[in-house]
Amino acid sequence: MSVLSGKKIILGISGGIAAYKTATLVRLLIKAGAQVQVIMTPASKDFVTPLTLSTLSKNPVYSSFFNEEDDPSHKGEQAKQNAQWNNHVDFALWADLMLIAPATANTLSKMVNGNCDNLLIATYLSAKCPVYFAPAMDLDMYKHPSTLASFRSLRDFGNIIIPAESGELASGLSGEGRMAEPENIVAFLEKDLESKLPLKGKKILVTAGPTYEAIDPVRFIGNHSTGKMGFDIAKAAANSGAEVILVSGPTHLQLNNSLVRVERVTSAQQMFEVCHNHFNNVDVTIAAAAVADYRPKNVAAQKIKKNDAAFTIELEKTQDILASLGAIKKNQFLIGFALETENEIEHAKQKIQKKNLDLIVLNSLNDQGAGFGKSTNKVTFIDKDFVIEPMDLKSKEDVAQDIINKIIEHYA
Catalytic residue positions, numbered: 223
Backbone angles phi, psi at 214, to 5 degrees: -65, 140
Spatial distance between the Cα atoms of 268 and 359, rounded to a whole number of angstroms = 22
Spatial distance between the Cα atoms of 38 and 368, rounded to a whole number of angstroms = 43
Spatial distance between the Cα atoms of 403 and 360, rounded to a whole number of angstroms = 10
Partners of 41 in beta bridges:
none
Residue 139 CB partners (closer than 8 Å, separation 6+): 169, 173, 175, 176, 177
Contact, 412 vs 333, CB < 8 A?
no
Nearest residue to 405 (alpha-carbon basis) of 345, 333, 343, 352 = 333
Residue 248 CB partners (closer than 8 Å, separation 6+): 207, 208, 209, 227, 230, 231, 262, 263, 264, 265, 289
Cα-based distances in Å from 137 to 123, 143, 165, 288: 22, 10, 11, 54
